[in-house]
Structure 1
Amino acid sequence: MTVGIDTLKTRRSLTIDGKSYDYFSLAALAEQGHPGVAKLPFSLKVLLENLLRYQDERTVAVSDVKSLADWQPAQAEREIAYRPARVLMQDFTGVPAVVDLAAMRDAIHNLGGDPQKINPLSPVDLVIDHSVMVDAYGSAQSFDDNVKLEFERNNERYAFLRWGQTAFNNFRVVPPGTGICHQVNVEYLAQVVWTADEQGKTVAYPDTCVGTDSHTTMVNGLAVLGWGVGGIEAESSMLGQPVSMLVPEVVGFKLTGKAPEGVTATDIVLTVTQMLRKLGVVGKFVEFFGPGLANMSLADRATIANMAPEYGATCGFFPVDAETIRYLSFTGRDPSRVKLVEAYAKAQGMWRDESTPDPVFSTVLELDLGSVEPSLAGPKRPQDRVVLKDAKGSFAKTFAESGVAAARKVPVEGKNYELTDGDVVIAAITSCTNTSNPSVLVAAGLVAKKAVERGLTAKPWVKTSLAPGSQVVTDYLAAAGLTPYLDKLGFNLVGYGCTTCIGNSGPLDEPIAAAVEKGDLMVAAVLSGNRNFEGRISPHVKANYLASPPLVVAYALAGSMNVDVTTEPLGTGSDGRAVYLKDLWPTNAEIQQAVDAALTPAMFKNRYGNVFHGPDQWRSIETAEGETYKWDSGSTYVQNPPYFVGMPKAAPETLSDISQARVLALLGDSITTDHISPAGSIKKDSPGGSYLLEHQVRPLDFNSYGARRGNHEVMMRGTFANIRLKNEMVEGVSGGWTRYQPSGEQMFIYDACMRYKAEGTPLVIFAGKEYGTGSSRDWAAKGTVLLGVKAVIAESFERIHRSNLVGMGVLPLQFKDGMTRQSLGLDGSEVVDIIGVAAGLKPRMDVDVAITKADGSRQVVKVLCRVDTLDEVEYYRHGGILQYVLRSLMSA
C-alpha cells in the first residue's frame, strides 16, 4: 500500500497497548467544513476514508474527497477511483485469473519486458472450494470418495495453482477440503481493520475487499465492505489499478423487533431479498440499521449479507458494533487486533450502538422481524419467496402452468416405488448462505435427531448431502451429538465447499434419472443455498427451492413438494403414528442451548491454525517452477489464452465503428450469467464434449465446465450453451442454438460463430431487461468476446456483467425510451451497423444503430453506450482491461 499526499492534513494517530497506529481521520475532515460526514451511511464512510488515504491529485482529487464528504442522497453520480485492501478468489473464478496472470507474464516477456512486473500488489487469497462434486453420498465413505475423485479430476488445475502459490508474491492458496471462501473469509481472513507498514509507520484502515465470487458480500455482515467483481476487475485490482466506480445511492434497511419462534435467518433473508428486489437496488449499496440489529447475531447478519447478489445490490452492509467485537474474539482473532477494531471504529465514527443517530439514506425500507414467516423461494428465482404454508399450492400452480393435465407416475427400475411429478430428488444442506450460521445447522441436526427417534427415514428417491462451509461446522455438530442423526437420514458429510447451488450436485442415481427422463417429470430440489436458477442445480430437476437447513431435512422426510409440511404428516413413526413437522421442530431455546454447549473458540483456533497446510493429496502434488509457466499443449484444463496474440506495444489512437454485423441471438429478460457462461456438466454431444472426446478424454472424466475454466477452448464452446437458453431466432428449441445467416441454417452457436469468424463477420446480441443477472462470472464476458461478439444491445444490464463486457472489449449498448427488440420487429436475419464510436467515445454517449432487414429496409435508432466512466473508455480503447494494465506496466 502506498498512501497519498495528505493534502487535507487529516493524518492522526491512536495508541493500542503501547503501539501507535496512524490513520486518516474523518473527524478531522469534518472539522474542515464538512459536518455532513457524521451523518453519512457507514458504508460511504469506508469509501470516504479510502479516497482520503489515496488522495494524490492523479487518481483521487481533493474535489473527489470533498464531494463524497458532502454527499447528499439526491446528488448526481460521481466517478471515483477505489482501492480495496485485498482480493478474495475461489478456484472456479480464480484459476482463469491466475491463467491470465501467467499469460501476461508470457506476453510482457515476449514484448521485451520484465515478467516480475506481473505480481499481485494487493494481498490475494484463493480458496479452493468449488471443485468438489457430490458423486458419493449417504455413507460414511462419501467424504473420502469425493475427495479422491476431486484430486483425480483436478490434478492439472491444482498443480497449476501450486505453481502460482510459489511463483507470485502476495498470493496465498487455501487448499481443498478446508471450506468455502466466504465462510473462511468471515471466520478467519477478514480483520475488519487492516494494517500496513508505510515509511516506518503502521497505518490502520478499514478492511475492504473485492472477490471473484458475487457472494463476497457475505463479509459485509462482519462490517467489511466487499462485493463481487469479475475476474477481470479482480486481476486489475491486484495489479494495482483502482476499481473505477460511481458513488452509489445507499438504501437504508431498517430492522425492528425480533424474529418469532420458529423463524430462521433463512426466512429473514428470503423476505429481505423479495422486498429489495421489488424496490430495485441494482447498482446501489444497501445498509442495515435500526434497533433490530441488537437482536441479530453476526451469523444472521452474514446470512443476509451473503444474498446481496440475489436482491441485486452491490453490497448489504452492517456496521461495527459490540456483536462484531464479540464475534472477532470468539473466532480467535488476535486480541490486540480486536482492541484496534473497536478503538479505530470509535475514532472514525464507524461504531454503531443504541445512541448512534440514524445515517441519512437515499431511500429507507423497513422490516419488523416479528412479521417474518417460515418461507422457501422458488421454483426458479431466489427472489420468488413462497410462504411455507403456501408451498404445496405454489408448486401445484407451477406444475399446472407447464401444460401437463395431471401428475404422472413412473416406476423406478429395480425399486419398489414410483416417481411422481413434484417428488423431491435432491435435498442438500449446501455451503455459502447458511452453513456459516450455527443456529440453522444445529436446528437441522435437532430435526434429524427427533425424526430418527420417531423412526422416520428420508424417502429413498432423495439424494441427501451435507457440504458445510468450514470444518468448524462438523466439529460443533459432533460436539452437540447431532452427527449420527444426520448420518442416519443420509446427510453424511460429502465435502467442504460449494456443491449443489453451483451445479456440483453430481448425478442422480441412474434409475432415478432414467425415470425422470422417461416421464419427463417435473421433480424438485430443496437446498440451503442461494441460487436456484433454471437448469443450474441439475439437468434433471426443473423446480428448485431455497430453504433453511432444517426445512431441507423436513423435505427429505416428506419426499415431495405435493405435501403441505405445515399440516400434513412427514411420515409414519415406528409406533405407527403420523409425525408432523411441529413434532420435530426445535424451539429457539433448544437451538441456542445446543449452540452454546457445542461451539467453542478453540474450534476456530484449531481449524485455522494450519489453514494453508492442506491434506496429503495437496502436499504431494508435483508442480513446475519458474517465473513463467511451462504450458502443456496437451492439457485439457489449462491453456494459454489468446488475448495477447499479435498485441502491439501501443494501443490504437482511434476506434472503429462496427460494420455489417450479424445477429447471434435474440434473448429475453433476466438472461443470467448461468445462461451465458458455461456451468455444470459437459454433455457428450455438445461442442465442449466433442472437443474433449477429440482429446481422448472419456465422458466419465469430463468433469464440469467450472473445473475447466482455465481452458478457453472448452469454455468458448460452452458459452451460450445452457440447456434452458431460449434464443428467439430458433423457435421451439432450447439450448445453445442459432440460425446462421443469411442461409437461416440451424446450428450450435459455437459452430456458427466459428463460421462467422472465418468470414470476418462481427456479431451482436439483442436482449431484454437485466441482461447478465447472477454470479460474477468473467467467462460470461470472456466467452462472448472469443466467439466474436462485438456488442450486446439490451434493455438493461446487471452491474457486474456490464463492467465485465467493457473489460473484455465488448460494447454494451442500452435501448432508450422504451424501445425493445420486439418494438423493432427483429427476427435475427438483420444486418447491424453501430455508428459513432469512431468519432470519439465518451462515457454514456448516444450512438446510432442502423438495422437493415432482409427486405432491404433500413432503420436507424439511438441507443445509450454503457461505457460509463473515463477509465472504461481507456479499457475499451486498449481492447480490454488486461491489455490496458499490461501496456501500463510495460511503460512503468
Structure 2
Amino acid sequence: MPTQSHPDSFKSLATLKSGSTTCQYFSLKALEKKPGDLSRLPFSLRILLENLLRHEDGRSVTADDIKFLAAWDPKAEPSREIAYMPARVLMQDFTGVPAIVDLAAMRDAMKTLGGDPEKINPLQPAELVIDHSVQVDEFGTLRAYDMNAALEFQRNRERYAFLKWGQSAFNNFSAVPPGMGICHQVNLEFLARVVFTTAPDASGKVWAYPDTLVGTDSHTTMVNGLGVLGWGVGGIEAEAAMLGQPVSMLVPQVVGFKLTGKLREGATATDLVLTVTQMLRKLGVVGKFVEFYGPGIAELPLADRATIANMAPEYGATCGIFPVDAETLRYLRLTGRSEEHIALVEAYLREQGLFHTKDAVEAEYSATISLDLATVEPSVAGPKRPQDRVLLSQAGANFKEQLPALLGPNGNKNEARQMVRWEGEGGTASASGDIGSSVGMAAAVVESPSVPVATLVEGALEAPHVSIRSRFGIDPDKYLDHGSIVIAAITSCTNTSNPSVMLAAGLLAKKAVEKGLKTPPWVKTSLAPGSRVVTDYYEKAGLMPYLDALRFQIVGYGCTTCIGNSGPLPTDVSKAIDDHGLVAVSVLSGNRNFEGRISPDVRANYLMSPPLVVAYALAGHIGHNFDTDPLGKGKDGKPVFLRDIWPTQQEIAQTVAASIDSEMFHKEYSTVSKGDQNWQGLKFPEGETYGWEQDSTYIRKAPYFDEMPATPAAVEDIHGARVLALLGDSVTTDHISPAGSIKLNGPAGKYLTDHGVKASDFNSYGSRRGNHEVMVRGTFANVRLRNKLAPGTEGGVTRLLPEGTGMSIYDASVEYAKRGTPLAILAGKEYGSGSSRDWAAKGPRLLGIRFVVAESYERIHRSNLVGMGILPLQFLPGQNTESLHLTGEEVFRVGEPGELRAMLDGKFANGRTITVFAESDKGKTTEFSATVRIDTPQEILYYQHGGILQYVLRQLAGKA
C-alpha cells in the first residue's frame, strides 16, 4: 500500500463510502483533462494506470511514467518500461513447491551474508492450491477417487509437510489442501476479490484498489474472465514479486477482440475458445494484451468468458481480459461473495470508470479482430498443438493426413496393420455386447474374428487394472490400431467447471446409457472436475449414475491428464501399442496437448469439449465420422448417431438453471482450508529456516546461492561453447522440462533407483521439482524431443563433441563441465511455448547452458532465461540455423572480448545486436548478428547479478 512518502503528484487521493465501509483510493479521474478522457484507454491499461498512480514513489514509479501511460499511443512499439506491483501471487503445487524451496534456501543464504532471514518473507498474499499431484491410477470404478486420493497422499507426504512448514514459517503464505479443486477455479470461485480492500492501517484507513496478481501457472489468465488483471510468470519472478520486487514490463500493445452474435445450436464454449486461439495465433499476439469487447460479450456467461481467458497462453497473449459488468456481479453473487463486498465492487469500479455497460465508449486498440459467435462450428484441436483447430467433421481425415509425421522410430512395426474404411462405419460396443464396425475394422486387418466384450461383473470392481484382458476378456492386440482412442479424459481447468459444457457431457451420457451404448474397454476414461461444486450439481441434476455407467467416474479434483498425470495404461494396451508401433490417441477437454505430455504411450492428442470427449469415448477411434457413422446399436437394435443423443442448448440451459445455486459454493468453500484427516494430521518441522534432509528425494536445498559472493562479478565473456541440442520450431517447456512420468532407464530414473526409490514410487517430474538433482537429470528428457545433433532419435539424447559419441543430454553436460566447456542451445520459432515453467530455465542453467539462440521466444520463457542468468539471443528476421548452414557441431563465441559487458553497462546505448562466431572443425568461421533479448533495464540488472533471485537476495541483504 502507499507509504507516507507517497508524493501524490496528481492530487488523486479520494474517499469512497459503500454501505458501512469507507475506503481511501487513488482516483483515475484526477488524470483526466476532461471528463471521460480515459475512456479511450482499454480497461486493462486503466487497471495498470491505477497501479502506477497508487505506487508512485519517484523512483520505481515516477509522475512521467503515469503521464506516459495516460497518454498511451496504441500504435507505438513497446519501449517504455514500467513497474507493476500485483496485489497477490497465486501458485499451484508443481510450481509452488520449488518456489518455497527457493525462499527457504534464500533464508539460509541471507544468514550467510549476515542479514536477517525474516526479510525473506512474502509482503503480500501468496496463495497456493495443491491441485497438480493427483494421478489417474484407478479409473472406471466407484473406488477411483478414494484410491487415487490415498495414493496421492502416500506419494507426496514429504512435499505436503514441507508446504505446511512454509505456512508456519512465512507470513502471508497459505495453502489450500489437495482435493479441493484446480487452482484457477478456486481462484475464480473463492480467492479472487475483483476489488481488494486492506485491513485498517496504522492510521485506521482502509484502502481499496483493483485485485491484480501474477501466478506461477500460465493459466492464471483464467481469472481475466472475472475482470481481474493477472497473468502467468515463472516461479522465480513470482518469488521476487512476493518479496516486494515490481514486475518489470514494457507498456504493452493491446489487441481488441470484438465479439458479436450468439453461439448457434451444437456449438460450445470449447469450440469458441479453439476458434479464438487459432485466430489469435495466426494474428500474432505474443507479448500483447488481448481485450474482449463488443455486443457479443453480453451473450457469454462468466464461465464461458473464463474458458476463453484461460487459454491466453495457447493463443500467446500475456492476458485475455473481459471487463467487469453486470454478469460479473451475478457470478460473484452465485459463488457466495457477500452482498456488502459485491456492492463495494460495483461502487468502486463505477467510480473509477472500470465498470462496463452496453453504452460504454469503445476504447482504442493497437489492432482489432472480430468474430461473429454464430459462425463458430464444432471443432477439435490437435494432434500436437492447441492452435491447430480442425472441424469436427474433418478430424478423422486430419489424423490420417498427420499419421506419417506421428509415427515413431519403431513405426515400421505396424506395416501390416493399415487403417482401412476411413469412409466406412464407426461404432463401439452396443448394448448386446457386439463390437461395432470401427472396432471390427482392426480385427479384420489381422484376420481375427470379432469377439463379444465381456460384461463387467460386480466382482471386477475389486480387480486391479492390470489388463483389459482379465477384466473384459478382450485381447487389445486384436482391436487396437492407428487412431484408437486409449485415453478419454474430462480434465483440466479450461472446461471442468464450466456448467454448460460439463452438464452437456452429463446429459449426453444420460441419453447414451438410455439408448444402451457403452464405452469400449480399451478407452481409459476419467472425470476430474475443477471444483467440488461440479459434483454437487451433477448429483442434483441426477446425471452422476449415467457418467458412472460409461466409466467416467470421478478420479480426483485436480489437473490430471492435462498435466501428464494420466497414469499408466493397462499393461496389455501399452504392450499392444509398443509391439505394433501404433499411433494411439487421447481426447481430452484440457488446454495442452503437446508432444509427450499426456502419456508416453500416446502420440496424438486432441483437445475438445467435455461432451465430445464422451462421444469419442463411445466411438473408440479418432477416425469415427459422427455425421455418417453410428455410435452403435441401441436397445431396439437400431443404429444410434451422435445427433440422437446430443443435448440442445435449451436442455442444457434448463439443467443449469435447475441444478446450480449459491448454497453449493457456500458449503464447499466454508471448509476449503481444512483438508481431510490426512492433511490435518500431517506433522511438519518448525523453525524460521528449514531442516534439510540429506537423503530426501523430494526436497533438496536449492544450489543457486552456493558460494554466492556478496557483490556480483563482472559479466563474463562466452567463448569456446558447444551446442548441447539443435532443435526445431515449437519446442515447448514440456520438451525442455517434462512434467509427466519418469523413465526407469533415464538419468533421473537411475538417480532415484540409486537412492532406493522403487519405480512404482517415482511419481512425476512435476512432483519432484523440489529436488534439483532429479530435475537437472530430467531436463530435455521428454520422450518426444528431437535433437538434430542426434538424428533419427527421440528423447533426451545428444552427441558429445568433438568425438561424436552418443549419450544422454545430462551425461554429456557432466562431461562438458569436466572440460570447462560452456553450452548453448540452437532453436527455431516459438522456443519455450507452453507452461510458465521456471524449471525450463533452471534445468538448462544447472546443465551449464550459457546462451540460447532462437528465431523467436514465448514471453514467459524468455523472461525465465534472463531470470536464471541465461542469455537469450534471437536470429535476425529471415535467418535461422538452416539459412546460416549451422550444423550445431561448431564452437561458438558471443561477441568480441568485453563486448557483452560493455553493451549491458551502457544499457544498449549503441544498439542491442551482437555478433556470434561459429567455427567449424575445418576452421571455417560463420559470423552472424543476433539480437540480445534482455528487454528492460531491470532485466539487465538481473542478468548482471547472475539471476533475479541473486539480485533480490543481495538487495534485501543490503549488498546490491
Question: Shorter chain as normaliser: what TM range?
Answer: over 0.9
Partner in structure 1 of residue 935 of structure 2: 868
Of 490, 495, 498 in structure 1, the residue corresponding to residue 556 of structure 2 is 495
Partner in structure 1 of residue 678 of structure 2: 617
Q: Secondary structure at the match of 1:838?
A: helix
2:14–2:26 contact (8 Å) kept in structure 1: yes
Confirm or deny that 1:731 pairs with 2:731. Answer: no
Q: Secondary structure at the match of 1:642?
A: coil
Note the alpha carbon deviations across 1:277-318, whole angstroms, 9 max, x for none: 010100000000000011110000000000000000000000
Confirm or deny that 1:715 pairs with 2:716. Answer: no
Deviation at 1:421, TM superposition (A): 1.3
Q: Secondary structure at the match of 2:831?
A: coil
Note the alpha carbon deviations across 1:409-466, whole angstroms, 9 max, x for none: 6788652551121111110000300012101110000000001111111111100000
Confirm or deny that 1:445 pairs with 2:514. Answer: no
Give the unaligned 5+ runs of structure 2.
Answer: 420-441, 449-467
Please give the residue correspondences for 1:512-551 in structure 2 after superposition, counting only pairs within 5 Å: 512-551=573-612
Confirm or deny that 1:365 pairs with 2:424. Answer: no
Deviation at 1:829, TM superposition (A): 1.7
CA distance, structure 1, for counterparts of residue 126 and residue 28 of structure 2 = 28
Q: Secondary structure at the match of 2:740?
A: coil
Give the unaligned 5+ runs of structure 1.
Answer: none
CA distance, structure 1, for counterparts of residue 589 and residue 316 of structure 2 = 19
Q: Secondary structure at the match of 2:10?
A: coil
Q: Secondary structure at the match of 1:824?
A: coil
Deviation at 1:823, TM superposition (A): 1.8
Q: Secondary structure at the match of 1:428?
A: strand
Partner in structure 2 of residue 110 of structure 1: 112
Q: Secondary structure at the match of 2:90?
A: strand
Q: Secondary structure at the match of 2:519?
A: coil
2:597–2:738 contact (8 Å) kept in structure 1: no
Question: Structure 1 residues 783-792 or 678-687, which shifts more?
Answer: 678-687
Confirm or deny that 1:821 pairs with 2:884. Answer: no
Query: 1:423 corresponds to which letter in structure 2?
Result: S
Over 4 Å off, 4+ runs: 33-36, 400-405, 408-414
1:36–1:70 contact (8 Å) kept in structure 2: no
Deviation at 1:521, TM superposition (A): 0.7
* TM-score normalised by L of structure 2: 0.91
Query: 2:238 corresponds to which letter in structure 1?
Result: A
Confirm or deny that 1:859 pairs with 2:903. Answer: no
CA distance, structure 1, for counterparts of residue 92 and residue 729 of structure 2 = 29
Note the alpha carbon deviations across 1:125-162, whole angstroms, 9 max, x for none: 00000000000001110000001100111011011001
Of 191, 201, 214 in structure 1, the residue corresponding to residue 193 of structure 2 is 191
CA distance, structure 1, for counterparts of residue 520 and residue 632 of structure 2 = 9
Deviation at 1:36, TM superposition (A): 4.4
Deviation at 1:330, TM superposition (A): 0.9
2:726–2:826 contact (8 Å) kept in structure 1: yes
Partner in structure 2 of residue 94 of structure 1: 96
Question: Structure 1 residues 555-564 or 199-208, which shifts more?
Answer: 199-208
Of 942, 947, 960 in structure 2, the residue corresponding to residue 880 of structure 1 is 947
Of 230, 236, 243 in structure 2, the residue corresponding to residue 239 of structure 1 is 243
Confirm or deny that 1:837 pairs with 2:900. Answer: yes
Confirm or deny that 1:383 pairs with 2:387. Answer: yes
Of 800, 803, 808 in structure 1, the residue corresponding to residue 860 of structure 2 is 800
CA distance, structure 1, for counterparts of residue 802 and residue 481 of structure 2 = 45
Partner in structure 1 of residue 452 of structure 2: none
Of 269, 285, 290 in structure 2, the residue corresponding to residue 265 of structure 1 is 269
CA distance, structure 2, for counterparts of residue 15 and residue 402 of structure 1 = 62
Query: 1:274 corresponds to which letter in structure 2?
Result: Q
Note the alpha carbon deviations across 1:61-114, whole angstroms, 9 max, x for none: 111100000001112421100001000000000000000000001110122211
Note the alpha carbon deviations across 1:448-499, whole angstroms, 9 max, x for none: 0001111111111100000001100001001100000000100001000000
2:797–2:808 contact (8 Å) kept in structure 1: yes
Aligned residues: 890
Of 224, 230, 251 in structure 1, the residue corresponding to residue 228 of structure 2 is 224
Question: Structure 1 residues 835-844 or 671-680, which shifts more?
Answer: 835-844
Deviation at 1:202, TM superposition (A): 1.1
CA distance, structure 2, for counterparts of residue 817 and residue 330 of structure 1 = 50
CA distance, structure 2, for counterparts of residue 790 and residue 177 of structure 1 = 40
CA distance, structure 2, for counterparts of residue 839 and residue 222 of structure 1 = 45
Note the alpha carbon deviations across 1:317-362, whole angstroms, 9 max, x for none: 0001000000001111121110011111111111111110111011
2:137–2:567 contact (8 Å) kept in structure 1: yes
Please give the residue correspondences for 1:440-479 in structure 2 after superposition, counting only pairs within 5 Å: 440-479=501-540
The structure-2 alpha-carbon separation of the partners of 1:630 and 1:34, relative to structure 1 and needing over 3 Å to count, comes to farther
1:36–1:71 contact (8 Å) kept in structure 2: no
Deviation at 1:34, TM superposition (A): 9.5
Question: Structure 1 residues 722-731 or 300-309, which shifts more?
Answer: 722-731
Deviation at 1:576, TM superposition (A): 1.2
Deviation at 1:678, TM superposition (A): 2.8
CA distance, structure 1, for counterparts of residue 141 and residue 405 of structure 2 = 38
Of 906, 915, 933 in structure 2, the residue corresponding to residue 848 of structure 1 is 915
Confirm or deny that 1:430 pairs with 2:491. Answer: yes
Partner in structure 2 of residue 562 of structure 1: 623
Question: Structure 1 residues 853-862 or 296-305, which shifts more?
Answer: 853-862
CA distance, structure 1, for counterparts of residue 487 and residue 503 of structure 2 = 20
Partner in structure 1 of residue 547 of structure 2: 486
Note the alpha carbon deviations across 1:26-49, whole angstroms, 9 max, x for none: 111113x79642210000101010
Partner in structure 1 of residue 721 of structure 2: 661
CA distance, structure 1, for counterparts of residue 36 and residue 298 of structure 2 = 28
Question: Structure 1 residues 560-569 or 581-590, which shifts more?
Answer: 560-569
CA distance, structure 2, for counterparts of residue 398 and residue 789 of structure 1 = 34
CA distance, structure 1, for counterparts of residue 77 and residue 583 of structure 2 = 48
2:91–2:127 contact (8 Å) kept in structure 1: yes
Partner in structure 1 of residue 751 of structure 2: 691
Q: Secondary structure at the match of 2:704?
A: helix
* TM-score normalised by L of structure 1: 0.98
Partner in structure 2 of residue 157 of structure 1: 159
CA distance, structure 2, for counterparts of residue 569 and residue 349 of structure 1 = 54
Q: Secondary structure at the match of 2:926?
A: strand
Q: Secondary structure at the match of 1:420?
A: coil
Please give the residue correspondences for 1:276-291 in structure 2 after superposition, counting only pairs within 5 Å: 276-291=280-295
Note the alpha carbon deviations across 1:814-873, whole angstroms, 9 max, x for none: 111422111221222211111221324135712221111110112332211001111001
Note the alpha carbon deviations across 1:368-393, whole angstroms, 9 max, x for none: 00010111111111001111111121
CA distance, structure 1, for counterparts of residue 534 and residue 526 of structure 2 = 14
2:537–2:660 contact (8 Å) kept in structure 1: yes
Q: Secondary structure at the match of 1:305?
A: helix
Q: Secondary structure at the match of 1:52?
A: helix
CA distance, structure 2, for counterparts of residue 868 and residue 34 of structure 1 = 36
CA distance, structure 1, for counterparts of residue 169 and residue 543 of structure 2 = 44
Partner in structure 1 of residue 432 of structure 2: none
Confirm or deny that 1:12 pairs with 2:14. Answer: yes
Query: 2:660 corresponds to which letter in structure 1?
Result: L
Partner in structure 2 of residue 166 of structure 1: 168
CA distance, structure 2, for counterparts of residue 514 and residue 5 of structure 1 = 69
Partner in structure 2 of residue 308 of structure 1: 312
Of 676, 679, 692 in structure 2, the residue corresponding to residue 631 of structure 1 is 692
The structure-2 alpha-carbon separation of the partners of 1:355 and 1:391, relative to structure 1 and needing over 3 Å to count, comes to same
Question: Structure 1 residues 110-119 or 241-250, which shifts more?
Answer: 110-119
Please give the residue correspondences for 1:774-813 in structure 2 after superposition, counting only pairs within 5 Å: 774-813=834-873
CA distance, structure 2, for counterparts of residue 444 and residue 802 of structure 1 = 39
1:451–1:584 contact (8 Å) kept in structure 2: yes
Partner in structure 1 of residue 438 of structure 2: none
Q: Secondary structure at the match of 2:96?
A: helix
Query: 2:172 corresponds to which letter in structure 1?
Result: N
Confirm or deny that 1:342 pairs with 2:401. Answer: no
Partner in structure 2 of residue 584 of structure 1: 645
